[in-house]
Amino acid sequence: GENVEQHPSTLSVQEGDSAVIKCTYSDSASNYFPWYKQELGKRPQLIIDIRSNVGEKKDQRIAVTLNKTAKHFSLHITETQPEDSAVYFCAASFSGNTGKLIFGQGTTLQVKP
Amino acid sequence: DGGITQSPKYLFRKEGQNVTLSCEQNLNHDAMYWYRQDPGQGLRLIYYSQIVNDFQKGDIAEGYSVSREKKESFPLTVTSAQKNPTAFYLCASRTSSQSDEQFFGPGTRLTVL
């Protein structure tokens, strides 16, 4: 069955440092990989996504890389700021009609000022 | 943050009672989803609907029921058969035709007393 593993479960960095969160997925047919940021008690917000025909995507301080062969993808946040502190979720989906998302367990990122 | 709403924000239920959580969207999205979130865990799919009058079970459908009589609305009923219903419930929608991105509502926190 479809499964997504996410590591680490918690991550603490100093302001200005980089943070990396990694996910692996089980189903080789998955071809859409979003990353969501969720602040305490709030809804998840999409921060970046990537499709399986692309190896890397950047948006300012955020980047995602995808290794289809190894079935893993990673979120990279550079120059971290205290407002980056939140829970981050990766997910994998089949692109197409269902849009089902299988989520990782989440990573709590703490950026210390 | 407009476009997809959930009500109520907080809901308290006595054991043995059914409760219905509301989810409405004015984004003209075809697909809608219900997720459950427990502390320290990722989101798990309960039910989803790709078109009006049609819906499918997700990974944890037991003890829940849904309906999709209108495109804008996808209510979730938590029945007394759900053994551990206390959780944060999130509704999401997706256009289905042009994008894989799912947009989330603000969530309903259900507590069983």
pLDDT tens-digit map of A65-94: 999 999 999 999 999 999 999 999 999 986
Taking CA atoms, B92 is separated from A83, B73, B103, in Å, by 25, 11, 5
User: How does pLDDT run across B45-103, given as a tens digit for each residue?
Assistant: 999 999 999 999 999 999 999 999 999 999 999 998 888 999 999 999 998 666 788 99
* Chain A, nearest residue to B36 by Cα: A103
Q: How many CB pairs under 8 A join A and B?
A: 64
Give the per-residue pLDDT at A97.
Answer: 61
Give the per-residue pLDDT at A94.
Answer: 66
Residue B69 near residue B53, CB atoms below 8 Å: yes
- What integer best gives the mean pLDDT of chain A? 93
Give the per-residue pLDDT at A65.
Answer: 97
Shortest distance, CA B104 to any CA of chain A (angstroms): 6
Backbone angles phi, psi at A82, to 5 degrees: -55, -30
- pLDDT surpasses 90 at B1: no
pLDDT confidence of A2, banded at 50, 70, 90?
Answer: confident
Nearest CB to B101 within list A4, A41, A46? A46
Where is average pLDDT lowest: A34-38, A54-58, B1-5, B104-108?
Answer: B1-5
Report the pLDDT averaged over residues A46-61: 93
Give the per-residue pLDDT at A105.
Answer: 95
Mutate to test the interface with B, among A6, A57, A100, A105 (most CBs of B within 10 A): A100
Paired tokens of A85: 């502190």
Mutate to test the interface with B, among A101, A102, A105, A107 (most CBs of B within 10 A): A101
- pLDDT surpasses 60 at A96: no
Give the per-residue pLDDT at B98.
Answer: 67
Backbone angles phi, psi at A34, to 5 degrees: -95, 155
SS3 A84: helix
pLDDT confidence of A31, banded at 50, 70, 90?
Answer: confident
Which residues of chain A have a CB within 8 Å of the CB of B101? 34, 46, 49
SS3 B13: strand
Q: Contact B102/A89, CB-based, under 8 Å? A: no
Q: Contact B96/A4, CB-based, under 8 Å? A: no
Taking CA atoms, A99 is separated from A29, A41, A95, B63, B112, in Å, by 13, 24, 6, 23, 31
Above pLDDT 90, what percent of chain A?
80
Shortest distance, CA A80 to any CA of chain B (angstroms): 23
Count of helices and strands (H, E) across chain A: 0, 11
Give the per-residue pLDDT at A54.
Answer: 86
Taking CA atoms, B75 is separated from A66, B38, B67, B71, in Å, by 36, 20, 6, 11
Give the per-residue pLDDT at A52.
Answer: 85
A87-102 b/e with 16+ CB inside 10 Å = b? bbbbbbbbeeeebbbb
- pLDDT surpasses 70 at B19: yes
